[in-house]
Structure 1
Amino acid sequence: MTSRGDLESDIDPLDREAVDWVVRLTVGQLAESDRVAFEHWIAASTAHERAFAAASDLCSHMRHLELPTAAETFERTAAQRTADSGGNVVPFGAKPRHPAMSRRSFLGGGAIAASLAGGLMVVNPPLALWPSLAELMADRRTGAGEQQSFRPVAGVEVELNSRSSSSRTLGGHGLELIAGEAFISVSNAQQPFKVFASTAHLSASQAAFNVQMMAGSLCVTCVEGTVTISRGAYSEPLRSGHEIVFDTYGKVQKAKADEFVRLAWRRGLLVLRGTTVSEAIPQINRYYPGRLVLTDNSKADWPVTGVFHIDQIDLAVVQLERLLEVEARHLPGGVVLLG
């Protein structure tokens, strides 16, 4: 058996540096000094470019890693007995899902594999560069540009948006949204359906609502009926036409819902209406097969307005280039620098 120490001792220092740059580029906005340092690093030699490409490609592949779970095995077996038990993955485009990664290719990742073995994947992958352990263990998970619909229990329908994951709880009468976004319709259910998202608990007997988790915030939009929302000492019913947002600082904001914007993904669209660049990029990244990174912090608050087809999300990148008056730099592994 190869130990972690043996694996790390065989890693080329250049591979380690490539891993560091992939993580730094995807964790957030770069300072000007970081951008300049990266430009010098990758331009040093073709070996640097190859190392960065290998690290980026493997991280991208890890994002789509498929590991079978007991729940998936159970549901696939049940699907053969009744059509209602199965769920169909519906891609926005015609792109097939990435195949499962073999043990050989995983270990062949060198520095990346060592980082994963060290617990980086298990604890908190940077900006979903690869799935967390919770996502890998989820009953259902979608990749970039995919949606999935299923019925966890009679009277309840769930639609998962792109880059989302969930698991059934309470014998099918509950759902844990682990990451991403979901639209839940509850009608004629035998008992109230419960949704667990971050630290919030939602309960509904007759309702249709959208739950979005993004960049540490949680937004619940009620379209029909009433949803009861509880979070710590906070508990309040959310009625049709309204939404509530719990931001990263613990603040609660309740407002009239903009359903055209919030539910556009169900029509295959991404709608941005005066959205700041710093908020627009995570939304685009939900559908973009790579990763957009803003390198010019001075333009983070610039507003972006537009309607984009999710299966043509590249056009959103073009608009950002024009808006920011920059030329996007496309790096190996789907990393795109804006600024």
Structure 2
Amino acid sequence: MTASDRDPRDTFDTADSDADIGQQAAAWWARLRSDDFTQADADALRAWCARSPAHARAWRELKQVWQALDPALQEAAPQRAAVLAFPLRPGRRAFLGGALAAGVAVLALRPPLGAWPSLQELSADYRTGTGEQRQVALSQQMTVQMNTQTRINVRAPEAIELLDGEAEIFASGARQPVTVVAGAGRLLAQSARFNVRHTDDAVCVTCLAGAVEVHWQQRRQTLDAGQQLVYDERSVQAATAAPAEEASAWRTGALSFVGRPLADVVDEINRYRPGRVVLRNAELGRRLVRMRFSIGQIDGALAMIRDLYGAQMTSLPGGIVLLS
């Protein structure tokens, strides 16, 4: 039985070894990912972390050890390493235990709750972490402002592929149009500023200045300033008026939502905040809200949700918050 197979609510001996405690911490991570995680589970996890300093440390290190792995993963990513191993300092006991070490390859591809970068993230030419923003000048004609949790590959000095995330593109009078490939579409612009958001399977393109040509299969649409459209693998929508300031609000250090489901707000909070906010009330998630808050004070948004919309908040170790 591996750590992911074990039910962390099982009773453990108080004399558990460090390796056993590490396996239990890994089992709790797996339990948190399940659809039937309950308030009783949350209380049990708190009790488990409080059982001893070793338990609290194992939970903390489950996140920290992978963050420390980041340089090693970056080195391994270009070779698309299938199996990774990490060294422990001499004489130091392995809190994560043998079961977690055996599952390293899987966890590197699909990290639980986004606790560390996946191999896919690390293999991109440029990427940003949670809450990070970055500007990349690819040429005199093309500059890319990357938002949080964004990955891009460079195809040419004036052509990129947005693998996922969000970026604002500045095209300044190039002889040939700059090109952005995102999902099933291709965007071309010669003198323009536009925002591209590629999350899940959908791509949203918003023209902020100038004009952008959107190529989707055999169809072409031109977006003028103030227009946006959404497409995915199956269809492309007609251009519509872009919500005022919403698409580029992140560039000013704020997030703005007008008439959006609360579930969308929670999804966006998770892009900027370490840990994970889990919305466990479907009715609450469907509620349309109007909110604006600072990216630098993202936890204040959770307090707003609690105070304005009556959500119950349960805070767990590792930055995990349950909303119900």
TM-score by length of 1: 0.74
- CA offset at residue 121 of structure 1? 3.0
Distance in structure 2 (CA, Å) of the matches to 1:199 and 1:16: 41
Which residue of the other structure, out of 273, 276, 281, is the alignment partner of 1:291?
A: 276
1:130-173 Cα offsets, whole Å, 9 max, x none, are 32323101222222222111211221111001121222112x22
Q: Give the distance between the partners of 2:175 and 2:96, measured in 1 at CA.
A: 49
Mapped pair 1:224 → 2:228: no
2:220 equivalent in structure 1: 235
Q: Of 261, 266, 289, which aligns to 2:246?
A: 261
Alignment CA distance shift 1:259-1:113 (3 Å): farther
Contact 1:220 1:243 in 2 (8 A): yes
Residue in structure 2 matched with residue 39 of structure 1 by the alignment: 42
| C-alpha displacement of 1:266 | 0.5
Q: Secondary structure at the match of 1:289?
A: coil
Bigger-Rg structure (1/2): 2
Aligned-pair CA distance for 1:113: 4.3
Decide which of 108, 115, 128 is 2:103's aligned counterpart.
115
Determine the structure 2 residue equivalent to 1:19. Answer: 26
Equivalent positions of 1:291-330 (< 5 A) are: 291-330=276-315
Structure 1 residues 333 and 54: CA distance shift in structure 2, 3 A: farther
CA gap of 1:44–1:58, structure 2 versus 1, over 3 A, is closer
Using the size of structure 2 for normalisation, the TM-score is 0.77
Equivalent in the alignment of 1:206? 191
Which deviations, in whole Å up to 9, do the C-alpha atoms of 1:190-232 show, x marking residues without a partner? 4221112223222222221101122332111011222222233
Structure 1: gaps spanning 5 or more residues: 73-100
Q: Tell me the alpha carbon deviations over residues 309-337 of structure 1, each in whole angstroms, 9 at most, x when there is no partner.
A: 11111110101112342332221111111
SS at match of 1:300: helix
Q: How many residues align?
A: 295
Residue identity matched to 2:130: A
RMSD over aligned CA atoms reads 3.5
User: Which digits, 9 at most, give the CA deviation of each residue in 1:244-300, with x for residues without a partner?
Assistant: 1125x8443331112411100000111111211111111111212221111122211
Structure 1 residues 40 and 148, CA gap change in structure 2 (3 angstroms): closer
Which runs of 5 or more residues in structure 2 are unaligned? 6-16, 79-84
Please identify, of 57-66 and 225-234, the stretch whose mean Cα deviation from structure 2 is larger. Answer: 57-66
Q: CA deviation at 1:41?
A: 4.1
Q: How does 1:27-106 map to 2 (within 5 A)?
A: 30-31=35-36, 34-36=37-39, 38-39=41-42, 41-42=44-45, 45=48, 46-47=50-51, 54-55=58-59, 58-59=62-63, 62=66, 65-66=70-71, 68=74, 103-104=87-88
Task: Tell me the distance in 1 between the aligned counterparts of 2:56 and 2:183.
Answer: 34
Q: For 1:161 and 1:146, how far apart are their aligned partners in 2? A: 7
* Alignment pair present for 1:175 and 2:163: no
> Relative contact order: is structure 1 or structure 2 higher (C-alpha 8 Å, sep ≥ 6)?
1
Higher helix content, 1 or 2: 1
Native 8 Å contact 2:257 2:289 kept in 1: yes
